[in-house]
Amino acid sequence: MRMIVLSRNKQIALVIVPLVTLIVSAILPFVPALGFGGIAYSSDVSLVAAVLGAIAVILTKGWIRVLALSVVVVSLLFNYYILPAFVNHLFDNLQY
């Protein structure tokens, strides 16, 4: 079985893709045209960033792998801790 060999520039580009995806998912809840659906889209996109980051962890090596792993950890933290806290804070003063 032959390993996939990527140059350093391709490895860095492979890490930049989930990083940009994570930035987009952080912006989505604040897009007025999406309404509250932006929060759901943000959750989905952050999971996509985690999957892309996991692929980058598999295909990279060295310090770039550590960077890809940190993107995965941050995207999972965003999805499971930061985004729910934002949603809870958003509905704090909601009156029925």
DSSP single-letter state for residue 30 = G
| 93 token code pair | 């003063």
Q: Is residue 2 part of a domain?
A: no
Q: What is the pLDDT of residue 24?
A: 94
Q: Is residue 50 part of a domain?
A: yes
What's the structural domain count of the chain? 1
The whole domain housing 26 covers: 8-90
| 39 token code pair | 């929060």
- Averaged in consecutive runs of 10 residues, what is the pLDDT profile of the chain (96 residues)? 85 95 92 86 94 95 94 95 84 67
Q: What is the pLDDT of residue 48?
A: 95
pTM: 0.85
Handedness of CA 42, 45, 50, 53 (dihedral sign): negative
Q: What is the pLDDT of residue 91?
A: 74
Q: What is the pLDDT of residue 94?
A: 66
